[in-house]
Structure 1
Amino acid sequence: AANLRERIRRETGQSVDVFTFHGFAAKHVLRDGERVATELESDAAIDSLYKGPTSRKTVETAHGSRKLCPKYMVESAILNHESARFSITSEMNIIMSRLAESRLVPTWALFNRFIDVPQYRHVLVDEAQDCTRAEWDIVERTRGTPFFVGDGKQSIFDFRGAKGSMPFKSHSLTHSFRFGLAIASACNVVAAEFGGDPIEGCDRDSTVTSEIPDRTGKTTAYLARTHHDCAIIAASMGDAAVHVRRDPLDAFSHESDRIGSAFAAGKTVVSTVHGFKGHEADIVIVDESVFAATEDDRATVEDWRVLYVAMSRARDVLVLPPERIHAFI
């Protein structure tokens, strides 16, 4: 939110309300003394069902007691509730109750409490392809004229219930204002793998290479598939890099911009592709792990989209693994 607010102020000279969906909900539903639970606090509450002095074998329901669901089923139920307003299970009620003892509210419970949505005349939704059903519902309840900006080729959050498609009157933008012809051409090679429409580059100079250029004075991002991959990369780069792992609480801060802060300090940002969504850098290095995911036996269209998103973050120089570069130049 902080990044987008600054971009709008710089381009228009005006200030607007900018929120993440969770931040918007939290602003209006948290009661005095409450705060949003951190990821670790929420995970600990879930774990308390299965181990320690508060573990249990059964839960009470409207129809009597039943066996406690496995942890993976509870986590799936939480995701379905947050993204599509599925019913709250008995396990979820226990988790919320335990967090409430410390005046904590899990992120996934915010939307369920968000009944009185503030009214706006106009609502612009960025990265609309990543919206869940619950988030679409919040937009509708603002009763404002909605404007959605998104790109189906960049839909990489299916696992959290993102809808991907935008069933509205649309105006296609075929030009990129971020990168030039060379990077556009490389991105189109990947888009062709999953039927994505090609994009045209702007007149900005751009380069696709396997050689890491001089990074002096340039913002640089090293993108990998998992946080484990990121940790290995960051360790190999020492003080020159910082592994940026977004804290869920960043969604509730107007000023938090960990990536921007790392760039300002002259560091190379090492991040997962999902964590770097919505950002860009002068130089982007795409790790082999992002390519390897497209060749896994379980690979899906979304794995190709993740690669597309990674490559399309670059403004000036796109650095690809030496063993992959031949397909793009």
Structure 2
Amino acid sequence: MPRLAIAKSFLTGYANLEKSVRKSVDEAIARFEHHTFAGLHLEKLHGALDPHVRTIRIDGGRRGIVLKPDTGDVYCLLAVMEHDAAIKYAKSRKFSVNQRLGVLEVRDATALEQVKPALDALAQTRTEKLFAEYGDGDLINLGLDAEVLPIVRLLTSEDHLVALESMLPQPQYLALVALASGMSPEEAWEEICRLLPDALPPAEVDTDDLVTAMERTPGEVVFVSGPDELAQMLAHPFALWRVFLHPAQRRLARRPSFNGAVQVTGGAGTGKTVTALHRALHLAEKGGSVLMTTYTTTLAESLDRQLDLLIDDAGVRDRITVINIDKLSYRTVKNTSGHNPKIAGRAEIQALWEIAIEQTGAPFSAAFLHREWEQVILAQDLAGRDAYLRSERRGRGRRISPGQKERTWAAISRFLELLSDSGAHTYTQIASEAARILAAEPVPRYQHVIVDEAQDLHPAQWRILRAAVAVGPDDMFIVGDPHQRIYDHRVSLKSLGITVTGRSHKLRQSYRTTAEILNWAVRLLGVEPVAGLDDARDDLTGYRSSLHGRRPVVRGLPDRRAELDALEEQVRAWLDAGVEPHAIGIATRFTSGLTRIEKALSAAGIDTASLAATGSAQDCVRVGTMHRMKGLEFRCVAVTGVDAGAVPASAALTSQDEDPTAHAHDLQRERCLLFVACTRARDALYVSYAGRPSAFLPDHHN
């Protein structure tokens, strides 16, 4: 009986096809439903470098590319392309088995042969070679083969190596990059073993066995069990994360057990959320009750939908509760008190602070006092005046004298009295109360807690989660990226009873964003280091993408009207190119800008919906604030209003005179917010501003 395999490259290309073309592709492979490929007209190509590559006719202008190993009666769908591009691809690629790792490799053999004379000429003029210090045995032990080794010996600079990335087999390229970055051969070997599902190479490798190599490469190729699974994959071609787990992700998500809390960090698009979703599935399959939580409502709703897509077994799905942290704390307090707590709005909180300052004569602003209350008193769960006066005020930049501390406490106390008199609470207050309620319960509510976007949670919210699950194996699975911190919450997990020592892991490969978008967006973050969740500095060393595309487009317009006209032009261009409306996301800094965008696109006949919309909004372009973009992704993203008057937002900045450290934190948070919005893009990023550009934008030339 034939077996069908699907390459990740196939679904990526399939997702970008117009619906009418997808239908032709579906018809071409429909015979798999009858467990036969008779009639597919697999064609060998004269002059193809790999005898295992075939093509099939999709329609008049496109062909599918299939890998057909000699044994196993396996057919692997590799790609769907325009006729000429398909023929060129099929003739130039060679598929092989890495002689050390046993995984499937692909190389552009024609391009490598064409570039070799130029490299040879350059090598004749240089005495130093890039890999001269390594013997052939060192390189062969890292998986380099007889075809690649002669080319490697010609390289004289890292730039030449980078230029070969799209031509070389990925495992061999990564081994070379590791050596070029200064790793020893032993360290490089450890690095490329990350490509293996269990990080252990096979004892023996049969370099002629393509089928076994495909089975060892689940991040790139999956076998389809039958027509139902095939139909499900084709119905959701963008959801590659459901099927193609990178080995580094798979090892974390499917590990039988961890001896305690686990922390997973990584840059945007490295698959942290994917890993968390699959970990939730794994723990639920073992029978445990799982709480999956995050900061924003939009992301929690997205996680809920993704789990519905990932899990077919209703019994397993029912063991996973997905709820954002504010709703969890609110529901906990409500169920205990028997009534709905009133939440104070931002304007009401500001007004109460102003009254408290006037009545107590406090020498500080409302913003300073509110931060002092949230980041010192609530963060440390301080009970009363004496505890506050003894506190160390960790994380606060401005030093205050004992006398100023007394006056600060007086103002905060008065604010709390006014807030209590109004019958209202803040969300952070509710979180503190919920933590106390859960800590008093005799039995924790959950067996496992999974936290996404962990960098945005307040210490009070962490106390909720610590109380919701008993300390022990697999108690907490924490994923986040300090470089995407868009709320001013800084914590030490250890101080909250959450120990991840020896169980911290970092993902470095971005699977969402192209290298062009990634390299541009990283510059938005500036050069200041950021603090992680475990009292250590975090950086983006090794953060990379093997995807390539167009560079981001940055446009400066004379005024807001012209910026809106340019936005409509860009969105129309994406739609005309076949991008589905819901695969386009538009972000701006302030809620006030959303109405202008929606009206402008509506006047152009383009329907829009909020970022949280589902179902009937499939034919709508998604629009929302930068904050609401958190955790989402789109094929194409437009970020508008990135001008000096809006980014950074002046209202979000503490005065540098009042607190230099808080001011620096605020600036970095605004940088992170722009970085988050821009890195939601998979294929295309468009950034615009009216008047003067934001100081955060890198120099650009269009």
TM over 0.5: yes
Rounded Cα–Cα distance in structure 2 between residues aligned with 1:237 and 1:108: 37
1:112 maps to which of 432, 438, 456: 432
Shift of 1:163: 3.4
Rounded Cα–Cα distance in structure 2 between residues aligned with 1:121 and 1:270: 37
Which residue of 1 is the match for residue 680 of structure 2? 313
Pair 1:27 & 2:331 matched? yes
Q: Kindly tell me: are residues 327 and 45 of structure 1, through their superposed partners in 2, closer, same or farther at Cα, counting changes over 3 Å?
A: closer
1:152 maps to which of 482, 493, 496: 482
SS, match of residue 631 in structure 2? coil
TM-score by length of 2: 0.37
Which residue of 2 is the match for residue 217 of structure 1? 580
**Paired residues of 1:156 and 1:274 also in contact (CA < 8 A):** yes
Rounded Cα–Cα distance in structure 2 between residues aligned with 1:83 and 1:35: 24
Pair 1:173 & 2:507 matched? yes
Rounded Cα–Cα distance in structure 1 between residues aligned with 2:700 and 2:357: 55
Deviations 1:128-178 (A, max 9, x none): 1112111222222232511110011111212xx343989833211111232
**Paired residues of 1:127 and 1:151 also in contact (CA < 8 A):** yes
Which residue of 1 is the match for residue 217 of structure 2? none
Which residue of 2 is the match for residue 303 of structure 1? 670
| Alignment of structure 1 residues 240-319 onto 2, 5 Å | 240=606, 244=610, 259-261=612-614, 264=617, 266-289=619-642, 293=647, 300-319=667-686
Which residue of 2 is the match for residue 5 of structure 1? 304
The higher relative CO (CA closer than 8 Å, separation ≥ 6) is in 1
Pair 1:95 & 2:419 matched? yes
Shift of 1:77: 5.9
Deviating more after overlay: 183-192 vs 203-212 = 203-212
**Paired residues of 1:223 and 1:271 also in contact (CA < 8 A):** yes
Q: Kindly tell me: are residues 93 and 143 of structure 1, through their superposed partners in 2, closer, same or farther at Cα, counting changes over 3 Å?
A: farther
SS, match of residue 587 in structure 2? strand
Rounded Cα–Cα distance in structure 2 between residues aligned with 1:170 and 1:25: 27
Shift of 1:23: 1.4
Structure 1: give runs of 5+ residues left out of the alignment: 59-65, 245-257
**Paired residues of 1:183 and 1:208 also in contact (CA < 8 A):** yes
The aligned amino acid for 1:156 is I
Superposition RMSD in Å: 4.1
SS, match of residue 586 in structure 2? strand
SS, match of residue 282 in structure 1? strand
Q: Kindly tell me: are residues 173 and 45 of structure 1, through their superposed partners in 2, closer, same or farther at Cα, counting changes over 3 Å?
A: closer
| Alignment of structure 1 residues 201-216 onto 2, 5 Å | 201=545, 203=547, 208-209=552-553, 211-212=570-571, 213-215=573-575
Shift of 1:312: 0.7
**Paired residues of 1:191 and 1:305 also in contact (CA < 8 A):** yes
The aligned amino acid for 1:37 is K
Which residue of 2 is the match for residue 327 of structure 1? 700
Q: Kindly tell me: are residues 223 and 293 of structure 1, through their superposed partners in 2, closer, same or farther at Cα, counting changes over 3 Å?
A: same
Rounded Cα–Cα distance in structure 2 between residues aligned with 1:294 and 1:97: 35
The aligned amino acid for 1:309 is V
Deviating more after overlay: 76-85 vs 314-323 = 76-85
Q: Kindly tell me: are residues 313 and 84 of structure 1, through their superposed partners in 2, closer, same or farther at Cα, counting changes over 3 Å?
A: farther
The aligned amino acid for 1:220 is I
